[in-house]
Structure 1
């Protein structure tokens, strides 16, 4: 199940990036699709349509992120620290040795 959410996350990220880049900006970056396409989306053009698609994709992206995190946390039952053998770790309670600097002649 985690794999499905992970693949969906990548697809949603790509779609969200494309839809955001398609929107018109003040400098008309990648939004140069205007012209005859505006009649397809009505008199307002594709701006309202792309804004709604962006909002829906953003919401689905957030929900998928939460589901992915929950799914991953359920699949991992132990921590990395649970695998550490604490008996193999030896503690040295002696004082640290200060390195001696040779005297200059």
Structure 2
């Protein structure tokens, strides 16, 4: 199920990219390569059609993303940290204790001879 939706997600991403690039803009984009758009889409050209197509594809992309996110979170309920086996703590050495008398004292003041 998720692999099918993932393939649909990739196809939607490519289709949105193509639909956006075909739209007429200030720099024309890839719309200049589609010569007779006016005769196929009417007098206004593909402007309205491509805008609606882009909106529909974007809506489908968002819905598909949400469904994929939901499916992936319900599939993976176990964490990697749950599979870690705790190590045996028998070989841990104890910390040596020091008494207060073992600290070096300040050297004695030199005496005059």
* TM-score under structure 2 length normalisation: 0.72
Q: 1:17-96 counterparts in 2 under 5 A?
A: 17-33=17-33, 35-85=35-85, 87-88=86-87
Moved more, 14-23 or 51-60: 14-23
Give the corresponding residue for 1:13.
Answer: 13
Instruction: Tell me how far 1:11 sits from its aligned partner.
Output: 0.6
TM-score under structure 1 length normalisation: 0.77
- Higher share in helix: 2
CA shift for structure 1 position 88: 1.7
Q: CA deviation at 1:78?
A: 0.6
Query: Alpha carbon RMSD of aligned pairs, Å?
Result: 2.1
Q: CA deviation at 1:42?
A: 1.4
What secondary structure is seen at the aligned counterpart in 2 of 1:24?
A: coil
**1:69: Cα distance to partner?**
0.5
CA distance in 1, matches of 2:94, 2:26: 67
Counterparts in 2 of 1:89 and 1:64: CA distance versus 1, 3 Å: farther
In 2, Cα distance between equivalents of 1:53 and 1:93: 71
Q: CA deviation at 1:53?
A: 0.1
* Matched residues, number: 93
- Structure-1 separation of matches of 2:94 and 2:12: 54
Which residue in the other structure is 1:2 paired with?
2
- Any stretches of 5+ residues in structure 1 without a counterpart? 95-105
Residue 39 of structure 1 deviates from its aligned partner by 2.0
Q: Can you give the 5+ residue segments of structure 2 that lack an aligned partner in the other structure?
A: 96-113
